[in-house]
Amino acid sequence: MLHVADTGAGDAILFLHGFGLDGRMWDAQVAGFKTTHRALAADLPGFGRSPRPADTTPVADLLARALDGRGVTAAHVVGLSLGGAVAADFALAHPDRVRSLVLADALLLGYPATLDTWERCVTLARAGDHAGAIGHWLTDGVFAVARTQPDVWARIQGMLDGYDCAHWTGSAVLRWTVTKPRERLPELRGPALVLVGERDTPAFHAMADAYAAGIAGARKMVLPGAGHVSCMEQPAAFNRALRAFLAGR
């Protein structure tokens, strides 16, 4: 069973984190919304306090089971980076369980974009140099803005210190229900917001554009001053944007 921090009461918001991190990256959002909503911050399989996948069950179905275990029939789903790809997959696999969808600096599976450090991280991790892999990952351009904010940077490093590199070594694999989601984005219904940090990388800006173009009626917003980890780098602005979207404004 996935680890899910569960706080507050009201309509549920499910927060899904980025690669190598865990549900703690959403602390500012949980604190900001727990008085008005039920805030659920999940650790995806093999990250944080969730065990590695034990079988080939898609991550979308694991999340559905986690919601079932908490009596949650539907939630507003908010995902950043890898969590954005998971959020889109969940929405396609379980559309009746998604009240609204927020894709922040979201990865789009199958989109022709690469991370500068990825292949080197895989090589180092599979050679047994986990510290080297994590250290190299932290040099990636997606963390450029976070590196300028000492408190944010310390929190990111702290989460990555606990990551065992299992997804780079291949001992943990996230299973998807849809491997080419871009072709199926028009199937998504209901309110959708695409957020992207002003200073995120060109690849993630392009993926944000693809999401916004592919999902009918999706709203796109650029967060000034934010980079890739926008919910941590500009938490107040992120929360304002999310609250306004949930209020239908």
Q: Indicate the pTM of the whole model.
A: 0.97
Tell me, what's the pLDDT at 249?
A: 63
Domain boundaries, given as residue ranges, for the chain: 4-113+174-246
Average pLDDT across the chain, whole number = 96
Confidence of residue 115 (pLDDT cuts 50, 70, 90): confident
Let me know how long the chain is: 249
Please return the burial class of 76, using the count of CB atoms within 10 Å of its CB with bins 0-12, 13-18 and 19+: buried
| CA distances, 113 to each of 24, 48, 200 (Å) | 27, 26, 13
- Of 3.40.50.300, 3.40.50.1820, 3.40.190.10, 3.40.50.1000, the CATH number of 4-113+174-246 is 3.40.50.1820
Give the percent of the chain with pLDDT over 90.
93
Question: CB–CB of 89/60 below 8 Å?
Answer: yes
| Per-residue model confidence as pLDDT tens digits over 203-236 | 999 999 999 999 999 999 999 999 999 999 999 9
Say whether pLDDT at 199 is over 70. Answer: yes
Tell me, what's the pLDDT at 238?
A: 98
Tell me, what's the pLDDT at 74?
A: 98
